[in-house]
Amino acid sequence: MVNIIGHRKFWLIIAGSLVVMSIVAVSLWGLKFGIDFTGGSLLELTFTNRPTTADLASDLANFGAEEVSIQPVGETGMLLRFKTVDETKHQELLKHLAEKFGEVEEKRFESIGPTIGKELRTKAIYSVVIVLICIILYIAWAFRKVSKPVASWKYGMIAVLALLHDVGIPIGLFAVLGHFYGVEVNSAFVAAILTILGYSVNDTIVVFDRTRENLIHAGGDYENFDKIVNESVNQTFARSINTTLTTLLALVAVFFWGGESVKYFALALIVGIGLGAYSSIFIASPALVLWEELTVRKRRR
Amino acid sequence: MNKIKRFFANAGKKIFKTPRAKIWWLIILILVVTVLAGFLDYPNYYDKGVNWLKKTTGIGLPEFYKLPFRLGLDLQGGTHLIYEADTSAIPAKDRDDALEGVRDVIERRVNAFGVAEPVVQTTKAGESWRVIVELAGVKDVSQAIKMIGETPLLEFKEQNPDTGTMQILTADQQKNLDDYNAAAKKTANEVLKKARAKGADFAALAKEYSTDEATKEVGGDLGFITKDGVYSDWYDDAAKLKVGGVSGLIETDENIGILKLTAVQDSKEVKANHLLICWSGAQSCTSNLSKEDARKKIDELKAQATKENFVDLVKANSSEPGASESGGDLGWFGKGMMVKPFEDATFAMKVGEISEVIETQFGYHLIYKTDERAVKEYRVSRILIDKKTSAEILPPAEEWIYTGLTGKQLTKAQVQFDPNTNEPQVGLEFNDEGKKLFGEITTRNVGKPVAIFLDGEAISIPRVNEPIKEGTAVISGNFTIPEAKLLAQRLNAGALPVPISLISQETIGAALGQESVAKSLMAGLIGFLAVVVFMILYYRLPGLLSALALAFYAVLVLALFKLIPVTLTLAGIAGFVLSVGMAVDANVLIFERLKEELRWGKPLGSATDEAFKRAWPSIRDGNLTTLISCLVLFWFSTSMIKGFALTLSVGVILSMFSALFITRSFLRLIAPWFQNKGTWLFGVRNKK
């Protein structure tokens, strides 16, 4: 049997510091939002003779494109982002680039008006809120039965905390990636966060269910509360790890071989779902024991 | 083939003899469904088999039903366009209809472009009405956008009976207006205080505060103002001031003024009638007279003119427009208001005199001076503080209003020629709805004009002589024949009921799409294999079963994607791959429980049943929360994310089915075969 509860403070400190680092990263650098949230244009091109980023940048500035950012893709590609342009301007730009830099192939063009961006932003916020409410309702339902010695609502609170950890750290990670590598937070990222919320909550609930079951079997032997919890974690250990592992295997395949446009979507899912397993094993039950200890200590005083 | 035959033979023997018939039936059903699904996914093998059968035995079977995967734009290339329809000119109740009209027209256009399965949808986002156009596999996107954009906007409008009536501000607008004007008043009061202070520099204050750009640079100086001049509105206020005095606030609806009187001078005003005979070439002249003839005529009139008959002469002869009504009366005027020779002559004359012939750029004049009075002229400086009026906030009422008759109801347009002038025209034919509408419009507008608007401009405003019930109309707009032909062509291809503008576009090149398909297939295969290998290594025999079940699952899901059909996008395929990873979760739960049950020493058969019974609630709940997330994503998101939510939820639902039926049936089938062979195969470590 692995002694997880014994090192409870260690696990909680690791998780806590990661969450704190995420909060710092987000407040320091913020998130770099994609054009589907801010509005703007995105143009992916393949050049026969690719110009340097600097050449392209100065040329685009001369052309009159605003707020340009350029990112090389692969060997011959370039990803350009700039302020929303209309179709006429877009065609002019393509013609201009072909005249200036020789053959150029347009692989992708997106131009999203500011109204659409604003709508998507609102929608994203709504969907996160709605999913959170649904999940919290679900948690309340899952722990509706009264149990002893720990009140049901405490299980629920800890499950919610674990969820915040699961989505908080990916958000922090994307703040870092956004700052250093220009990785953007777009609607796919929001989808990833929602999927993490839906997927990760279950492991925690399963562990707690097992804990409550074992507490009932133990029949009032609450002196060994931490031992019972540790046993429960161990009983569900393989299950938690394996369900997560199979899902991660599939996601890693998408990350490495699924192509550029779903790469960071897969990364967000990998990190979030991986953390979901961590939180159900190393956060939820240790936190439960810690909370119980604190209340017991208070009661004794 | 042989293996399958033997399998079926075995199955047949046991079917009626063993109590396990039910399990067998279930497995056979699963196999049949999966094989059918497999053929649907990839019909080539079936077709090859059919061909082979035909060649060798001559039995002809039909080929398998072909249903392609529906690929999203990002996989096959194409464009996703969002247009916003400007429905502001249309009454709220007709907006749905108008938008449907836009949809129909764009659909017709797009169909003409030859795109396979174009999607044209309408949505309403908040207060704005949108049309979403998806063109999959289109080669030349810019051409397509151009074609949609070139769709003519055709509207029939009637005169607005309410033009000029006051419109009502919304509460917000009224508040803004009041706030703005209150601030203006406050500023005006401060300025007034400064202007009245001792030693105040009025000119400097005007430079700083006046909102009248024309005069602020000269310190607000308006020069001498007269009772009838440009600044006549300020005359009475100026007259009340002493030289050097500053007025109070003079407030009107448009602005607040502060005046300072700087000088007064005496002047006079005159009143006169005049008679004009102009010649061809003089300013604003429409007469054909030569200058000589004009001179001759005015000389004759001068000879006849007296105080008594002057007005009648003017009425009969003057070439001034409207003179037959006015009698050439100019009313009171001061200096600087008439052309120089005319002014000089009039001011020099005595009251009651008729002048000599005076020549100006307008022609020859005779002037009859009727009165004269002394007036004062005031030189004032002015500080003007601007106010806002409701008219500045609200646009004036439209002259032409929506009738409901638009390009939507058009069935045909063709080039015709006007029977009288032989000019080319475009003849329009309406459908039944249009016929009825046009009849109503022409009935209520008899004697009034009706305007035909093309792309927002009135190109033809015919007057309705009588109600037109046949449902035909004519656009005559000074066309050349090629112009008329082009217009008829464009109208025939569809005309919009309201203007639209492109607000968002996503275009993916076909090359990128193909790359993406190849990549995501690769990712799917690798993900699948990785999961299978893991399951077999970790769970051994049950792992092998779950791998088989997973393969069945994949085949079934793909068939479902074709049947529903689910539009596959990159994110959608990622969702599918993710669902493969999640689908085995159910198996993991069952197998872990199975191991526990086996460790507790239960026999394999009942341990299997118990494991399923115990694991089911967890499987159900676990998938439930994922489904909740998918549902929300599906409601709220963009088409890309919708693809992900849809494939993931289809996968999740089917994975529950797969765990319950496929894996369970397999396990129950094989359990008796391994009843007494130890538990190692089931992943349980033997304790001794």
Q: Regarding beta strands B70-71 and B119-125, do their DSSP bridges make them parallel or antiparallel, or are they unpaired?
A: unpaired
Quick check: is B488 in a domain?
Answer: no
Complex confidence, ipTM: 0.88
Q: Which CATH number fits the domain that encloses residue B610?
A: 1.20.1640.10
Three-state DSSP state, A2: coil
Helix, strand, coil abundance in chain A, percent, nearest 5: 75, 10, 15
Q: Which sign does the torsion angle of CA B159, B164, B168, B170 carry?
A: positive
- The residue type found at B173 is Q
Q: Above 80 in pLDDT, residue B13? A: no
- Average pLDDT for B591-609: 84
Distances (CA, A) of B375 to A178, B1, B38, B231, B259: 78, 120, 105, 15, 20
| Domain final residue, candidates B349, B366, B396 | B396
List chain B residues with CB under 8 Å of A120: 638
pLDDT band at A19 (very low <50, low <70, confident <90, very high): very high
**Nearest residue in B to A210, CA atom:** B618
Residue identified by tokens 């689908």 is B583
Q: Is the Cβ pair B509, A199 closer than 8 Å? A: no
Q: Is the Cβ pair A131, B578 closer than 8 Å? A: no
Could you give phi then psi for residue A43, rounded to 5 degrees? -135, 120
- Average pLDDT for B632-659: 85
Q: Of B433, B426, B439, which Cα lies nearest the Cα of B492? A: B426
Q: Which long-range contacts (CB under 8 A, 24 or more apart) does A72-78 make?
A: A73/A44, A73/A260, A75/A50, A76/A46, A76/A47, A76/A48, A76/A50, A77/A44, A77/A45, A77/A46, A77/A47, A77/A50, A77/A107, A78/A44, A78/A45, A78/A46, A78/A47, A78/A50, A78/A53
Distance CA B531, CA B542 (A): 14
What is the architecture, at CATH level 2, of domain A5-35+116-300?
A: Up-down Bundle (1.20)
Residues B368, B335 within the same domain: yes
Under 8 Å CB pairs connecting chains A and B tally to 207
- The residue type found at B328 is G
- Contact present, B558 and B575 (Cβ < 8 Å): no
List chain A residues with CB under 8 Å of B588: 239, 242-243, 246
Q: Is the Cβ pair A187, B638 closer than 8 Å? A: yes
- Average pLDDT for A112-116: 84
Token output for A46: 């393949």
Q: Is the Cβ pair A247, B512 closer than 8 Å? A: no
**Nearest residue in B to A206, CA atom:** B618
Structural domain span for residue B429: 400-480
Residues B177, B213 within the same domain: yes
- Average pLDDT for B296-311: 87
Distance CA B500, CA B82 (A): 10
Residues B374, B282 within the same domain: yes
Token output for B620: 């159900």
**Nearest residue in A to B144, CA atom:** A87
* CB-nearest partner of A197 from B126, B582, B629: B629
Distance CA B393, CA B341 (A): 45
Q: Is the Cβ pair B589, A127 closer than 8 Å? A: no
Distances (CA, A) of B197 to A235, B96, B185, B191, B267: 91, 63, 18, 10, 32
Residue A235: how many other CB atoms lie within 10 Å: 17
Could you give phi then psi for residue B294, rounded to 5 degrees? -60, -45
- The residue type found at B9 is A
Residues B409, B315 within the same domain: no
- Average pLDDT for B624-629: 89
- The residue type found at B231 is Y
Task: Give the minimum alpha-carbon distance from B220 to chain A in angstroms, rounded to a whole number.
Answer: 42
Q: Is the Cβ pair A108, B508 closer than 8 Å? A: yes
Q: Is the Cβ pair A259, B519 closer than 8 Å? A: yes
- Contact present, B438 and B430 (Cβ < 8 Å): yes
Q: Note the pLDDT tens digit of each residue in B89-124.
A: 777 777 787 788 788 878 877 776 667 678 888 888
Q: Which CATH number fits the domain that encloses residue B434?
A: 3.30.1360.200
Residues B307, B406 within the same domain: no
pLDDT band at B688 (very low <50, low <70, confident <90, very high): very low
Instruction: Give the pLDDT confidence score for residue A175 in this predicted structure.
Output: 95
Residues B318, B456 within the same domain: no
Distance CA A68, CA A57 (A): 7
Q: Note the pLDDT tens digit of each residue in A249-266.
A: 999 999 998 887 788 999
- Average pLDDT for A135-148: 82
* CB-nearest partner of B625 from A86, A202, A250: A202
Could you give phi then psi for residue A226, rounded to 5 degrees? -65, -35
Distance CA B254, CA B239 (A): 22
pLDDT band at B311 (very low <50, low <70, confident <90, very high): confident
Least confident of B6-20, B42-56, B64-78, B153-167: B6-20
The whole-chain average pLDDT of chain B stands at 82
Q: Regarding beta strands B70-71 and B567-568, do their DSSP bridges make them parallel or antiparallel, or are they unpaired?
A: parallel
Q: In terms of pLDDT, which residue wins out, B12 or B386?
A: B386
Residues B226, B321 within the same domain: yes
- Contact present, B239 and B376 (Cβ < 8 Å): yes
Residues B184, B290 within the same domain: yes
Q: Is the Cβ pair A258, B142 closer than 8 Å? A: no
Task: Give the minimum alpha-carbon distance from A295 to chain B in angstroms, rounded to a whole number.
Answer: 30
Q: Is the Cβ pair A198, B627 closer than 8 Å? A: yes
* CB-nearest partner of B629 from A113, A187, A195: A195
- Contact present, A166 and A276 (Cβ < 8 Å): yes
Distance CA B406, CA B454 (A): 10
Q: Of B75, B124, B163, which Cα lies nearest the Cα of B509? A: B75
Least confident of A218-232, B77-91, B389-403, B451-465: B389-403
Distance CA A182, CA A186 (A): 12
Three-state DSSP state, B82: strand
Pick the CATH number of A40-112 from 3.40.50.300, 3.30.1490.100, 3.40.470.10, 3.30.70.260: 3.30.70.260
- Contact present, B81 and B500 (Cβ < 8 Å): no
Domain ranges of chain A: 5-35+116-300, 40-112
Task: Give the minimum alpha-carbon distance from A257 to chain B in angstroms, rounded to a whole number.
Answer: 5
- Contact present, A106 and A45 (Cβ < 8 Å): yes
Mutate to test the interface with A, among B507, B517, B591 (most CBs of A within 10 A): B507
Residues B252, B383 within the same domain: yes
Distance CA A219, CA B568 (A): 53
List chain B residues with CB under 8 Å of A245: 534
Task: Give the minimum alpha-carbon distance from B417 to chain A in angstroms, rounded to a whole number.
Answer: 36
Q: Please give the DSSP secondary-structure letter assigned to residue B394.
A: S
Interacting residues of A156 by C-beta distance below 8 A, sequence separation 6+: A136, A139, A140, A142, A143
Distances (CA, A) of B530 to B133, B437, B524, B527, B536: 39, 67, 10, 5, 10
Task: Give the minimum alpha-carbon distance from B503 to chain A in angstroms, rounded to a whole number.
Answer: 5
* CB-nearest partner of A106 from B505, B509, B596: B509
- Contact present, B622 and A138 (Cβ < 8 Å): no
Residues B100, B138 within the same domain: yes
Q: Is the Cβ pair A206, B618 closer than 8 Å? A: yes
Q: Is the Cβ pair A131, B504 closer than 8 Å? A: no
The number of domains in chain B is: 5
Q: Is the Cβ pair A199, B633 closer than 8 Å? A: no
Task: Give the minimum alpha-carbon distance from B434 to chain A in angstroms, rounded to a whole number.
Answer: 34
Task: Give the minimum alpha-carbon distance from A183 to chain B in angstroms, rounded to a whole number.
Answer: 17
Instruction: Give the pLDDT confidence score for residue B531 in this predicted structure.
Output: 93
Instruction: Give the pLDDT confidence score for residue A253 in this predicted structure.
Output: 93
Instruction: Give the pLDDT confidence score for residue B312 in this predicted structure.
Output: 87
Instruction: Give the pLDDT confidence score for residue B246 in this predicted structure.
Output: 86
Distance CA A92, CA A98 (A): 10
- The residue type found at B567 is T
Mutate to test the interface with B, among A242, A244, A273 (most CBs of B within 10 A): A242
| Domain final residue, candidates B396, B426, B461 | B396
* CB-nearest partner of B570 from A235, A248, A262: A262
Residues B384, B428 within the same domain: no
Between vectors from CA B594 to CA B591 and to CA B599, what angle results, nearest 5°? 130
Task: Give the minimum alpha-carbon distance from B680 to chain A in angstroms, rounded to a whole number.
Answer: 17
Task: Give the minimum alpha-carbon distance from B2 to chain A in angstroms, rounded to a whole number.
Answer: 34
- Average pLDDT for B45-68: 80
Residues B406, B373 within the same domain: no
List chain A residues with CB under 8 Å of B535: 246
CB burial of B169-199 (b: ≥16 within 10 Å; e: otherwise) equals eeeeeeeebeeebeebeeebeebbebbeeee
* CB-nearest partner of B632 from A194, A248, A265: A194
- Contact present, B40 and B100 (Cβ < 8 Å): no
Quick check: is B69 in a domain?
Answer: no
Instruction: Give the pLDDT confidence score for residue B58 in this predicted structure.
Output: 75
Mutate to test the interface with A, among B127, B505, B590, B635 (most CBs of A within 10 A): B505
Q: Is the Cβ pair A108, B534 closer than 8 Å? A: no
Could you give phi then psi for residue B150, rounded to 5 degrees? -80, -5
Token output for A251: 């996601």
Task: Give the minimum alpha-carbon distance from A202 to chain B in angstroms, rounded to a whole number.
Answer: 5
Instruction: Give the pLDDT confidence score for residue B687 in this predicted structure.
Output: 44
A182: left (phi over 0), alpha (psi -120 to 50) or beta: left
- Average pLDDT for A277-293: 91
The whole-chain average pLDDT of chain A stands at 88
List chain A residues with CB under 8 Å of B592: 238-239, 242
Distance CA A134, CA A195 (A): 13
* CB-nearest partner of A187 from B502, B528, B637: B637
List chain A residues with CB under 8 Å of B641: 187-188, 190-191
